[in-house]
């Protein structure tokens, strides 16, 4: 069993309930729900949550740590939203928000519009995209989708990268 799942998860100021195979976490910033796998048992006690496997199968043991991490992220997200920043580097690279889309101009012959998922707030300042959401999974996937449009390349460092990400630079051709 996971070491993460052996420790109880502090609920803080959130309201956590499990009913009909669905976990619901309510906090000051919003509400998150998640289907619970049938091999996992989530018990809500005063002030903390415990995640245990229902049987001794390998799948149940593996999913115990996974669901403990999901519960921890849900509790943390409804109290303080998660934030990811992406930086565009390159001459002529631009980003703008257009209603429910993020529109990227990153050196292609066309612009690349990406639909902003529900629950994610996107703010653009110059060439920095700030994404904010209470759901860590949705936020991380949307940030990865944006980065996938033009990942940073190792020779000039142009592309879309995460804030704080270090790009290993390669040396170009040497003159003879």
Q: What's the domain count of the chain?
A: 2
Residue 141 CA from chain centroid, whole number: 6
Instruction: Calculate mean pLDDT across residues 13-30.
Output: 94
Please indicate, yes or no, whether residues 71 and 87 belong to a single structural domain of this protein: no
Please indicate, yes or no, whether residues 91 and 68 belong to a single structural domain of this protein: no
Q: How confident is the model at residue 26 (pLDDT cuts 50, 70, 90)?
A: very high
Nearest to 119 by CA among 31, 54, 60: 31
* pTM exceeds cut of 0.85: yes
The CATH number that applies at residue 137 is 3.90.930.12
At 121-142, the pLDDT tens digits run 999 999 999 999 999 999 999 9
At 44-81, the pLDDT tens digits run 998 899 999 999 999 999 999 999 999 999 999 999 99
Please indicate, yes or no, whether residues 19 and 73 belong to a single structural domain of this protein: yes
Please indicate, yes or no, whether residues 89 and 67 belong to a single structural domain of this protein: no
Q: Say what percent of the chain tops pLDDT 90.
A: 86
Structural domain including 67 reads 3-79
Q: What is the predicted pLDDT for the residue at 175?
A: 75
Select from 79, 99, 118 the last residue of a domain: 79
Q: Does a structural domain hold residue 146?
A: yes
Q: What is the predicted pLDDT for the residue at 154?
A: 94
Select from 47, 79, 111 the last residue of a domain: 79
Q: What is the predicted pLDDT for the residue at 1?
A: 64
Q: How confident is the model at residue 155 (pLDDT cuts 50, 70, 90)?
A: very high
Helices 58-79 and 136-149, packing angle to 10 deg: 90
* Residue 52 contacts residue 43 (beta carbons within 8 Å): yes
* Residue 35 contacts residue 19 (beta carbons within 8 Å): no
Please indicate, yes or no, whether residues 17 and 70 belong to a single structural domain of this protein: yes
Q: CB-based burial of residue 56 (10 Å sphere; 0-12 exposed, 13-18 middle, 19+ buried)?
A: exposed
Q: What is the predicted pLDDT for the residue at 125?
A: 95
Q: Is the pLDDT of residue 174 over 90?
A: no
């Amino acid at each position: 069993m996971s070491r993460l799942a052996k420790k109880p998860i502090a609920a803080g100021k959130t309201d956590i309930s499990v009913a009909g195979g669905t976990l619901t976490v309510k906090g000051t910033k919003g509400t998150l729900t998640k289907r619970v796998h049938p091999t996992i048992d989530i018990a809500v006690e005063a002030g903390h949550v415990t995640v245990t496997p229902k049987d001794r199968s390998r799948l149940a043991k593996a999913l115990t740590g996974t669901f403990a991490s999901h519960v921890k992220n849900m509790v943390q997200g409804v109290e303080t939203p998660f934030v990811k920043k992406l930086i565009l580097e390159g001459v002529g690279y631009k980003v703008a928000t257009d209603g429910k889309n993020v529109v990227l101009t990153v050196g292609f012959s066309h612009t690349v519009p990406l639909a902003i998922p529900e629950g994610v707030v996107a703010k653009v300042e110059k060439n920095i995209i700030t994404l904010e959401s209470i759901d860590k999974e949705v936020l991380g996937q949307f940030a990865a989708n944006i980065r996938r449009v033009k990942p940073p390349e190792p020779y000039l460092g142009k592309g879309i990268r995460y804030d704080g990400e270090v790009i290993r630079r390669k040396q170009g051709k040497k003159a003879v």
